[in-house]
């Protein structure tokens, strides 16, 4: 049975324990950042920050969401990876650090802006769902450390029903727009969210798309433009012109049919 | 974060020019019915270094350049970068074989040379198909992503293909005029080198051919303008997240100056104006000659700005 984690934003207090636990377990260095007028830090995920609490300020309200890899069932990063370095290990989407060449295509393809190129390591890096922990019966470091229990780890099916129940409770308690994110997106995410408002409020795409979903149309667009449209001017201007000219000049040097 | 910086967009521009020049040269000579293939040879000689230098830039820009060979362990149809790797390898490889066969052919008797010619003719056709795939790929690479400016429409490959053919034609015009000048000039060594490359003693691309290339470029630029307008309208009208903002970045945001000056003026309107005003005029005239060179230079520079603006804009 596939595992997943459920992040309930209504419980998150932005302590950022998950950020620290992730760095500790995975041996990731701290980042030098500058004060930019918010407690949110660092500004975005990076090659050495694999989970990060995003802050959204609204009048009278502060919204938090721990942002990390969704471990999509249909993963754009895996599809576009030209070397096959990105693959599924069960439900976990993992970048093989020994095989990644650091081309950065996964960075451009992810609908959630999760993988980042690390200049020092020379590879793309992101959350590995603590695969070394979860294959040994432990939960991921972020879930293990989360003080209010906003990050839960378990069977995906169980978490879906917990999530749906929470959404109902939130709906009845002043959050009519509460919903569960990730059940069907990208073929089913393995990081599920209970959110108290629409996805875009929390910086999540309303309708995430697989990067390769339009690939054939894109190829056709280029090929038709070249093969049909861009070929026309040459047909118009060069059609048997040489022959006519050389007949007029009557100086055929054997290079004209 | 800008993961794809200058080397990537310079590479897309160079690969586009290499493929575009080959495409234009092949079609021009095919439709004319020429067999000495001066233009195609010129396009191949220019295209090989363009593609090779472009690929080197790409490799240097990798996080782990020494692992570049991992690309050749996969043939992944769904990944444009994987397909691009093989398309480039095949195009450059075949182009090099064609060059070798031309050189060998120059040293053979007429009879053997003609049998060799059918082989190069066949390879030239394959490389035409590969050139089309190559210039399409430079757009598809960006379009298969989740950046609204790149993936928000299916017209980015159209725009890049039109630009690739336009810049390719400009490269042909400039190199043809330079080579013609050399072959008429007094530098004997250079003259001999060019004669060796093209296997003929009276090497020159006729002025009419150059003029017609410039005329063809007018139509290609018009196609590019239509593609750009379609692309912009589609982005503006799209309901997908981020497409409107992405368009605004080009038309009135931080990239507005390079977009309006570098793309709209330099790549499209200035060369269009120069080429239309000199349409049908004798290229031997100093003014016309200069105008054609100037418009080709604008097209080439503008093509680079187009790649830069789109590549950077997609990642902001």
pLDDT digits (tens, 9 = 90+) for B54-74: 999 999 999 999 999 999 999
Confidence of residue B34 (pLDDT cuts 50, 70, 90): confident
| Residue A70 near residue A190, CB atoms below 8 Å | yes
The first and second tokens of residue A68, run together, are 């990390």
Cα B303 to Cα B45: distance, rounded to the nearest angstrom: 20
What pTM was computed for the model?
Answer: 0.94
State residue B185's pLDDT score: 78
The answer to whether the Cβ–Cβ distance between B157 and A209 falls below 8 Å is no
All residues of chain A having their beta carbon less than 8 Å from the beta carbon of residue B67 are 83, 99-102
The answer to whether the Cβ–Cβ distance between B144 and A82 falls below 8 Å is no
Of B67, B68, B161, the CB nearest to A222: B161
Interfacial A residues in 205-224 facing B (CB < 8 Å): 205-209, 211-212, 214-215, 217-224
Question: Which residues make beta-bridge pairs with A64?
Answer: A55
Mean residue pLDDT across chain B: 93
Query: Is any Cβ of chain B less than 8 angstroms from the Cβ of A240?
Result: yes
| Residue A243 near residue B30, CB atoms below 8 Å | no
The first and second tokens of residue B79, run together, are 């990944």
Query: Is any Cβ of chain B less than 8 angstroms from the Cβ of A143?
Result: no
Cα B141 to Cα B84: distance, rounded to the nearest angstrom: 8
The first and second tokens of residue B139, run together, are 């757009």
Q: What is the ipTM of this complex?
A: 0.95
- Mean of pLDDT values over B106-118: 80
DSSP H helical ranges for A59-214: 76-80, 105-109, 131-134, 141-145, 156-172
Query: Is any Cβ of chain B less than 8 angstroms from the Cβ of A154?
Result: no
Nearest CA in chain B to A216: B78
User: What sign results for the dihedral spanned by CA atoms B117, B118, B119, B124?
Assistant: positive
Of B28, B67, B158, the CB nearest to A225: B158
- How crowded is residue B252: how many other Cβ atoms within 10 Å of its Cβ? 11
pLDDT of residue B144 exceeding 90, the answer is yes
**Segment B167-209, tens digit of pLDDT:** 999 999 999 998 888 878 778 888 888 877 887 766 788 888 9
CB pairs under 8 A between A and B: 218
Interfacial A residues in 73-102 facing B (CB < 8 Å): 76, 79-85, 99-102
All residues of chain A having their beta carbon less than 8 Å from the beta carbon of residue B215 are 233, 237
- Mean of pLDDT values over B17-21: 98
Residue A155 Cα, gap to closest chain B Cα (Å): 29
Cα B100 to Cα A187: distance, rounded to the nearest angstrom: 51
């Amino acid at each position: 049975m596939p595992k997943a984690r459920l992040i309930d934003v209504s419980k998150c207090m932005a302590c950022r324990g998950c950020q620290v636990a992730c760095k500790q377990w995975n041996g990731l260095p701290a980042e030098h950042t500058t004060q930019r007028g918010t407690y949110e830090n660092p500004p975005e995920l990076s090659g050495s920050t694999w989970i990060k609490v995003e802050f959204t300020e609204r009048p009278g309200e502060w919204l938090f969401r721990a942002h990390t890899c969704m471990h999509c069932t249909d993963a754009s990063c895996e599809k576009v990876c030209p070397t096959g370095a990105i693959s599924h290990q069960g439900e976990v989407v993992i970048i093989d650090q020994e095989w990644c060449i650091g081309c950065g295509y996964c960075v451009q393809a992810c609908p959630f802006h999760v993988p980042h190129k690390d200049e020092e390591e020379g590879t793309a890096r992101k959350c590995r769902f603590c695969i070394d922990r979860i294959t040994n019966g432990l939960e991921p470091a972020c879930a293990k450390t989360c003080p209010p229990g906003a990050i839960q780890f378990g069977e995906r099916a169980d978490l879906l029903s917990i999530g749906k129940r929470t959404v109902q409770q939130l709906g009845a308690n002043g959050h009519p727009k509460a919903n569960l994110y990730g059940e069907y997106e990208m073929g089913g995410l393995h990081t599920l969210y209970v959110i108290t408002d629409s996805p875009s409020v929390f910086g999540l795409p309303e309708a995430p798309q697989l990067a390769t979903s339009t690939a054939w149309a894109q190829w056709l667009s280029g090929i038709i433009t070249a093969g049909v449209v861009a070929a026309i001017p040459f047909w118009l201007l060069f059609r048997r012109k040489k022959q006519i000219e050389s007949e007029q000049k009557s100086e055929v040097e054997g290079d004209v049919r | 974060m800008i993961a794809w910086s200058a080397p990537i967009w310079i590479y897309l521009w160079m690969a586009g020019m290499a493929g575009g020049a080959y495409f234009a040269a092949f079609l021009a000579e095919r439709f004319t019915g020429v067999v000495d293939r001066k233009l195609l040879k010129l396009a191949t000689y220019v295209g090989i270094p363009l593609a090779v230098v472009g690929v080197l830039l790409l490799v240097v820009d990798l996080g782990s350049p020494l692992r570049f060979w991992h690309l050749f362990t996969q043939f992944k149809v769904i990944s444009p970068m994987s397909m691009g790797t093989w398309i480039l390898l095949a195009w450059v490889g075949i182009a090099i074989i064609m060059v070798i066969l031309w050189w060998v052919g120059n040293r053979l008797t007429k009879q053997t040379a003609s049998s060799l010619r059918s082989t190069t003719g066949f390879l030239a056709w394959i490389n035409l198909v590969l050139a089309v795939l190559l210039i399409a790929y430079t757009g598809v690479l960006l379009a298969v992503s989740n950046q609204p400016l790149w993936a928000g429409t299916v017209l980015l490959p159209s725009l890049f293909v039109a630009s690739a053919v336009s810049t390719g034609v400009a490269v042909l015009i400039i190199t043809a005029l330079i080579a013609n000048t050399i072959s008429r000039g007094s530098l004997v060594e250079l003259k001999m080198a060019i004669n060796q490359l093209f296997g003929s003693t009276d090497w020159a691309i006729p002025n009419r051919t150059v003029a017609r290339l410039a005329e063809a470029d007018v139509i290609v630029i018009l196609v590019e303008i239509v593609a750009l307008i379609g692309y912009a309208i589609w982005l503006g009208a799209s309901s997908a997240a981020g497409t409107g903002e992405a368009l605004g970045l080009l038309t009135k945001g931080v990239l507005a100056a390079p977009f309006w000056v570098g793309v709209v003026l330099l790549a499209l309107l200035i060369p269009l104006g120069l080429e239309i005003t000199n349409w049908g005029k004798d290229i031997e005239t100093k003014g016309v000659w200069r105008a054609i060179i100037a418009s080709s230079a604008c097209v080439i520079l503008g093509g680079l700005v187009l790649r830069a603006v789109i590549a950077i804009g997609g990642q902001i």
